[in-house]
Structure 1
Amino acid sequence: MCGRFAQYSSRDDYFASLGLAPDDIQFDPQPIGRFNVAPGTRVLLLNAREGEMHFDPVFWGYGPAWWHKPPLINARGETAATGRMFKPLWQHGRAVVPADGWYEWKKTGNKKQPYFIYHQHRQPLFFAAIGKAPFDQAHDKEGFVIVTASSDKGMVDIHDRRPLVLRADAVHEWLSEETSAERAQEIARDAAVPEQDFSWHPVSAAVGNIHHQGAELIRAVETE
């Protein structure tokens, strides 16, 4: 995953896909409207605390006190549950990023062509994430990372890694504080949306500039 995605639907749209009721979490019909979410910014993150669902703005990036490099933005799903960096987050900081799609860059010769990848039926996506809980107290550089998986089938032609997108019916269990780290590994393995459920098309190179945020960024363009 190259590190850009879109989170432009309303909270209502995301929460309705998860079967959340107004009593479970505060709804908002206004579109979030972010077509070019970049690392190092605060992102609305769905998480569970003390038996209740919360939607908090959390810094996209993570680096513990002993980490003296730029914050990481992704964690490989194959190793996150057991590695030194991410094991504590996997156990106690599981979250979900509601999204509408993400961007990848395909290298062709000396050029890189961006693509927008989304559910073929335009359904909301739920990226598995892990971070420093509790998220309402998260500081910059100790926020969250998006869990990634290896690409397969046609998607590998765009990029060899992708966000781990969870099925909507698996999100509640992934977020639950009662779900063990071992069970979360099973969810990550068995409840991911498969590659054949996604579509993609080339988009403007303007998405490479974080100052560009309009809806035109997700529109298909002609390629040479």
Structure 2
Amino acid sequence: MCGRSALALAPDEIENRTGISTWKNKDLYRPSYNVAPTRFQPIIRVGKDAPSGSSEGSSGKQKYIQSMKWGLIPHWTKTPPTYQTTLNTINARDDTILEGRMWSSMKSSKRCVVIAEGFFEWLKKGKERKPYFVTREDGELMFFAGLWDYAKIEDQEYYTYTIVTTNSSKDLSFLHDRMPVILDSPEDVDLWLDPDTKFTPKVASLMKPLESGLKWTPVSTFVSKAGNDSPECVKPLDEKEAVKGTLLNFFGSGAGKGKKEEGVKKEEEVKKEEEESMEKEAAVKKEEPDVNLEEPTQPHPTSPKKRKHKDLESEPTKSEPPHPSATSTLSHPDQESKDHQPCPLCGTLLPPAELEKHVQDELARLDKGLEPGEDGVPPPSESDSASSTPPERKKPKVEGKTPGKSGKKGA
């Protein structure tokens, strides 16, 4: 389907690029980087009721631009349309146009061309929806095949249109199974617009996918909200936003639930320094088992002499701070669990259960235009994540000589 498009050109530029100078209801048009259904957009139509002075097409019929509302309201409608009913007719499938009775009169005499700079489509992966902006490679305007109608309901006039869709091209099939019918030449435009040409097989043959000449670019999810309207909607993702998309894929695969996934480091593009740090931590982990009072404590690689449990009993009042190897493995970076993973945004090593919330907080800052660490949170650094010293804790004091039973811990 086609549920969002873009046309941010000023009226005079649209007239210059289409070669059509007459525009009916021009005041209803508003340039927009994020055109949603129910908005007024310029369409091209041909008819004997065209205003005087309209330009002539190659078929000899008068062309003019008219601002119409997106979301077709059939002429037989008796009650004012709701927003939801309008959404049901923003597109008309080519197969239903061929067979459906609803379109019989419109496809014969009320064909139009919708002007656009491009359209948006969302790639769906699980719960994630990643927007893409599709345009012509040559930078020219897009001309969508459309149908229009006129209805008068309770003294209110409605000029509305719908965009004709067809199967996606091979290149765009990864994105969606449908795409707008794009008229690729002036001859195709004239044939589609000619009201004197009924809906012949030749006209019907125009309803096909455009197989070449298009390009597509991932853009920010900023465009997903219909109320957002700025150049940000069509701006290609920068490096920071590209990382954000990788993170969403990462959590969508279940890695944020504590499961160790293969190839995560490649997807997150971990820096070389962080990889070396992880290798060192893994080596230290093998040499330093957890402290357990049931077994003698192994010496730390940097300790000047061996220490046993009886040393803890004979020197309970020694003021020397406990060696880091005697503290909890969760409180020292050199003893991080193998399951710990670095945050792709700031490099902080965290358990998988905590990583998702931490990254979501960082993403929230990015959405606000902040860098990691702003908004009152100090930015983490590689030295912080690799060599910071945890709060000092006194070693446990052993009471009695029975192995495996610990005494009271120091305050």
Q: TM-score range by the shorter chain?
A: 0.7 to 0.9
Q: With the length of structure 1 as denominator, give the TM-score of the two structures.
A: 0.83
Query: CA contact under 8 A between 1:13 and 1:124: conserved in structure 2?
Result: no
Q: Which of 85, 89, 97 in structure 2 is aligned with 1:70?
A: 85
**What residue identity is the alignment partner of 1:49?**
G
Give the RMSD, CA atoms, in angstroms: 2.9
Amino acid in the other structure paired with 1:172: D
For 2:15 and 2:211, how far apart are their aligned partners in 1? 23
Cα separation, 2, equivalents of 1:188 and 1:105: 22
> Gaps spanning 5+ residues in structure 1: where?
none
Tell me, in whole angstroms, the C-alpha distance in 1 between the residues paired with 2:227 and 2:106.
31
* 1:2 positional shift: 4.0
Q: What is the number of residues matched between the two proteins? A: 214
Q: Whose helix proportion is higher, 1 or 2?
A: 2
Offset, 1:92: 1.4
* 1:97 counterpart = 2:114: yes
Rate the CA distance shift 1:17–1:188 in 2: closer, same or farther, 3 A. farther
Matching residue of 1:44: 42
Q: Is 1:187 matched up with 2:206?
A: yes
List runs of 5+ in structure 2 lacking aligned partners.
Answer: 49-60, 247-411
Q: Pick one of 60, 65, 71 that aligns with 1:55.
A: 65
Quick one: distance in 2 between partners of 1:172 and 1:16?
18
* CA deviation vs aligned residue, 1:61-83 (integer Å, no higher than 9, x gap): 12432798612110011231431
Of stretches 93-102 and 62-71 in structure 1, the one that deviates more from structure 2 is 62-71
Q: Distance in 2 between matches of 1:166 and 1:92?
A: 18
Structure 2 counterpart of 1:163: 180
Structure of larger gyration radius:
2
CA distance in 2, matches of 1:98, 1:6: 9
State the partner residue of 1:205.
Answer: 221
Pairwise CA distance, 1:34: 1.3
Q: CA deviation at 1:120?
A: 1.3
Out of 31, 34, 37, the residue aligned to residue 32 of structure 2 is 34
Of 45-54 and 107-116, the range deviating more from structure 2: 45-54
- Identity %, equivalent residues: 27
The one-letter code matched in structure 1 to 2:45 is N
Q: Which residue of 2 aligns with 1:114?
A: 131
CA drift of 1:107 comes to 0.6
Structure 1: distance between partners of 2:232 and 2:132: 13
SS at the partner of 2:68?
A: strand
Preserved CA contact (<8 Å) 2:73 2:149: no
> What corresponds to 2:6 in structure 1?
6
Higher strand share: 1
Question: Alpha carbons of 1:21 and 1:93: their partners in 2 closer, same or farther (altered >3 Å)?
Answer: closer
**TM-score in terms of structure 2 length:** 0.47
Q: 1:13 offset after TM fit, Å?
A: 5.3
The 5 A counterparts of 1:166-177 are: 166-169=183-186, 170-177=188-195
Superposition deviation, residue 12 in structure 1: 5.6
Aligned-pair distance for 1:154? 2.4
Helix, strand or coil at the partner of 1:39 = coil
| Superimposed CA distance per residue, residues 85-136 of structure 1 (whole angstroms, 9 cap, x where no aligned partner) | 21211111100011110000111122100110011121111000001159xx
Identify the structure with bigger relative contact order (alpha carbons < 8 Å, sequence gap 6+).
1
